[in-house]
Chains A and B, each alone.
Chain A
Amino acid sequence: MDIYAGELPALIALAGGLNWTVGFLTTVAILGILVLGLNIQWGYTGTINFGVVAFFMVGAYTSAVLTLDPPREFESYVGGLELPVPVGWLGAMLAGAVLALAVGLPTLRLRDDFLAIATIGIATILRSIANTQEGLVNRARGLNGIPRPLQQQASDAGLDYDWVLLAIAALVLLAVYLVVHHATASPWGRVLRAIRENEETARSVGKPTANYRVQSFVLGGVVMALAGAIWAHRTGTVAPDAFDNFFTFLVWTMLIVGGSGNNRGAVLGALAVGLVWFGIPLVQEDLPDALGTRVFQVRQMLIGLMIVLFLLLRPQGLLPEEKTVSRHLRAGGRRQTRWPLFTRRRPGG
């Protein structure tokens, strides 16, 4: 037994590290879905949405009330319909679409920056309604015991449930990535990019740009609400205070760092900024005291700094947008890839 005494803590630490990594990657996958949603709106269409957390929150709450058991004593919320989890996710996506229409229809035709103000407002209002309105979503106490998908099956099969959650989140991320990738690479996506570059030109060639902007805003909202639904079932509990506006800014940082208008960049940004955000508390003890005690403020500062520095120094992000005409034809065709080879040979030849 003595032999293991020294190794045991190291093994536990490794297991802890592995658990941390699995949890971290699950979080990054869910955040990646959100960033993909924002990428449709901001990256491709140039529509500004400072209320990402509102869509996330509506998705989380909708899926929760659809799948939860009816309220018990001292609880009060609508729904509690005990529907299957996938139905909850569909309901969440529908709710995201409704919210996007409600916010987008009146404001998308106006100046772009009005939407920024309206969306940051809607996030604040929805949080305060969730906190205040009796009988809606159990106010500040939040909703608990949200069913966790496949938990019973996982334990029957002897699987570690954290890995199952990671697999679910990763599969949804992949599915959303494929949908967003194909949507944005299609002629539809090309109109979005035209609107982003110059809406009047797009309109002058006969594109109903207002409709396209609403469609892109709704698709983005649906994706964000789906991310919220997965989040709710992953944590099993939602409360209003979790949906702080800062969450929106974190998602924005991920998109700007990763590369607006590039879907792989969006996912990479979620990973890179996620590493900074979730990694800093891990090294808290190694930081000098002045920083260590204020680690949460320091990492907020870093988020703000990343937004500003990337906008100033690398506005295209880590993975810049690829200039494509369509998915069948890269800009400049094949010649652009061969031309440098040809010119490089020439001096020697």
Chain B
Amino acid sequence: MSEIVHLTVIGLIVGSIIGLGAMGLTLTYGILRFANFAHADLMTLGMYLAFFVVGDLGLAGAELGPLSFGWGMIPAALFAIAGVSLVAVATDRIVFRPLRDRGSGFLTLAVASLGIGIMLRAAIQIVWGPAQRRYTTGIHEAWTIFGDVKIKPDQLLIIALTAAAAVLLYLLLYRTRLGTAMRATSDNPQLAEASGIDTERVRQGTWIVAGALIAVAGIMFAVQSQLRFNAGFEFMLLPMFAAVIVGGIGNPWGALAGGLLVGVSQEVSTEWIDTGFKPAIPFVILIAALILRPRGLFGSTI
């Protein structure tokens, strides 16, 4: 029993990371109206941009209390957020916007995003090499929360940050003009445009928000496990898409709930089945959602 509780806790941590990334993915899916297959590679880019600050520049800083990394992670995260958002906006300007203006279908945009993902993975390998890396080394003590269930301070921070990001995203979507415009564009782009909303600026804003979310999710992933050039593509792409579809496309809260569902099922399943089959769990959830509720558990609107 306690093994299942332990796996559930791990699942919530992994699910927070999936959910945070999926919130960004569902925003671009709902507002830009195509499945962005480069999203997971933007995540990997976020990991490595933070590594550039704490590793390559050596700005690790003194350790932050019980956490495994130092204060240098704060500027590193800001750098990663700025960098990933910039790359996301630039790819939209150079690739997606011309295709959009030409009236290309959403499938063509999905194929283009595949090409961008390949380029990102190759670029990350060229700069940082194919080997695995970590932000820090050394062992960090875990806290006992109840019974013999342990959790690391890093992992508590991951859950707390995901909750904070969800609150911030709520405030952005429901308390700001950009948020209102984003919801309007997601609902009906033509109508939004006719009501005087500059939908291209909304799309740009969406890429920045999605870029920030996925950059933070990437750093969390690397803190929880490690950095690898294909980490996002191999381990996060399917879980994130499963979370988005379970939650309903364009629905960030659904994506977060879907992420937690995928994360917990993935980890708890290892109690009964070989870990090698773990990647199949998000896929099974995805197919079940597609067949039973293709509009998602929570409806597909922001």
Distance between B212 CB and nearest chain A CB, rounded to angstroms:
24
Q: Check if B287 is an interface residue, CB within 8 A of chain A.
A: yes
Specify which chain A residues have a CB less than 8 angstroms from the CB of B274 in the assembled complex. Answer: 132
Distance between A71 CB and nearest chain B CB, rounded to angstroms:
20
Specify which chain B residues have a CB less than 8 angstroms from the CB of A107 in the assembled complex. Answer: 287, 290
CB pair A311–B112 under 8 Å, yes or no, is yes
Number of A positions contacting B (CB below 8 A): 43
Specify which chain B residues have a CB less than 8 angstroms from the CB of A122 in the assembled complex. Answer: 283
Q: Check if A331 is an interface residue, CB within 8 A of chain B.
A: no
CB pair A124–B279 under 8 Å, yes or no, is yes
Q: Check if A129 is an interface residue, CB within 8 A of chain B.
A: yes
CB pair A113–B107 under 8 Å, yes or no, is yes
Give 1 or 0 for each of B71-85: 1 = CB within 8 Å of chain A CB.
Answer: 000000000000000
CB pair B277–A304 under 8 Å, yes or no, is no
Give 1 or 0 for each of A45-66: 1 = CB within 8 Å of chain B CB.
Answer: 0101010000000000000000
Interface residues of A, dominant DSSP: helix
How far apart sit A311 and B111, CA to CA, in the bound complex (Å)?
A: 9
CB pair B115–A304 under 8 Å, yes or no, is yes
Contacts A249-B114, A307-B115, A308-B116 given; does A117 touch B245 at CB 8 Å:
yes
Specify which chain A residues have a CB less than 8 angstroms from the CB of B1 in the assembled complex. Answer: none
Q: Check if A347 is an interface residue, CB within 8 A of chain B.
A: no
Specify which chain B residues have a CB less than 8 angstroms from the CB of A246 in the assembled complex. Answer: 118
Specify which chain B residues have a CB less than 8 angstroms from the CB of A133 in the assembled complex. Answer: 276
CB pair B291–A307 under 8 Å, yes or no, is no
Binds B, one of A93-101, A177-185, A186-194, A293-301: A293-301
What residue of chain A has the Cβ atom nearest to residue B275's Cβ? A132
CB pair A114–B245 under 8 Å, yes or no, is yes
Q: Which of A121, A132, A245, A301 has the most CB of B within 10 A?
A: A121
Q: Check if B161 is an interface residue, CB within 8 A of chain A.
A: no
What residue of chain A has the Cβ atom nearest to residue B35's Cβ? A113
Q: Check if B178 is an interface residue, CB within 8 A of chain A.
A: no
Binds A, one of B46-54, B121-129, B193-201, B253-261: B121-129
Q: Check if A78 is an interface residue, CB within 8 A of chain B.
A: no
A contact residues vs B (CB 8 Å cutoff): 46, 48, 50, 106-107, 110-114, 116-118, 120-122, 124-125, 128-129, 131-133, 245-246, 249, 252-253, 256, 294, 297-298, 300-301, 303-308, 311-312, 315
B contact residues vs A (CB 8 Å cutoff): 34-35, 37, 95, 98-99, 104-108, 110-112, 114-123, 125-126, 233-234, 237-238, 241, 245, 274, 276-277, 279-280, 282-283, 286-287, 290-291, 294
